Amino acid sequence: DTAVSQTPKYLVTQMGNDKSIKCEQNLGHDTMYWYKQDSKKFLKIMFSYNNKELIINETVPNRFSPKSPDKAHLNLHINSLELGDSAVYFCASSQGDRANTEAFFGQGTRLTVV
């Protein structure tokens, strides 16, 4: 049983396309996140949802839109993909968002925009 699962694991697409990455967690957590890892392996928070409400929205182009249909899912939709969007995107979840809570990560989705 995978705790945090993302689909797809790999995504290759052309510039200008719209794509979605799905994330599901079966841990019963109430907080979910999206992180972006760039080509230099640097990890940065993009979004955080707590009980389906957006609580963190870092400086991310509005082409990126997270959607949380329920507490167990946080999907990432990207419009008009650009070359610079190529990266590994990680979904994570935790029970609450306090400092002491452990975040559990999915296996990442490698997005390549050509």
Partner 1 sequence: AQTVTQSQPEMSVQEAETVTLSCTYDTSENNYYLFWYKQPPSRQMILVIRQEAYKQQNATENRFSVNFQKAAKSFSLKISDSQLGDTAMYFCAFKGSARQLTFGSGTQLTVLP
Tell me the torsion sign for CA atoms 104, 112, 38, 20. negative
Q: Cβ of residue 84: shortest distance to partner 1, in angstroms? A: 19
Report d(CA 100, CA 3) in Å as an integer.
Answer: 19
Instruction: Identify the three-state secondary structure at position 84.
Output: helix
Q: Residue type at 59?
A: T
Q: Taking a C-beta distance cutoff of 8 angstroms, is the pair 104, 25 a contact?
A: yes
Question: Which residues make up the interface to partner 1 (CB under 8 A)?
Answer: 33, 35, 40-45, 48, 55-56, 88, 90, 92, 97-100, 102-105, 107-108, 110
Nearer to partner 1, 1 or 14 (CB): 1
In whole angstroms, the minimum distance from the beta carbon of 65 to partner 1 comes to: 19
Question: Which residues neighbour 59 within 8 Å (Cβ) at sequence distance 6 or greater?
Answer: none
- Comparison of 45 and 72: residue with beta carbon closer to partner 1: 45
Closest to partner 1 by CB, 15 vs 43, is 43
Smallest separation, CB 80 to partner 1 (Å): 26
CB of 47 to partner 1, least distance (A): 10
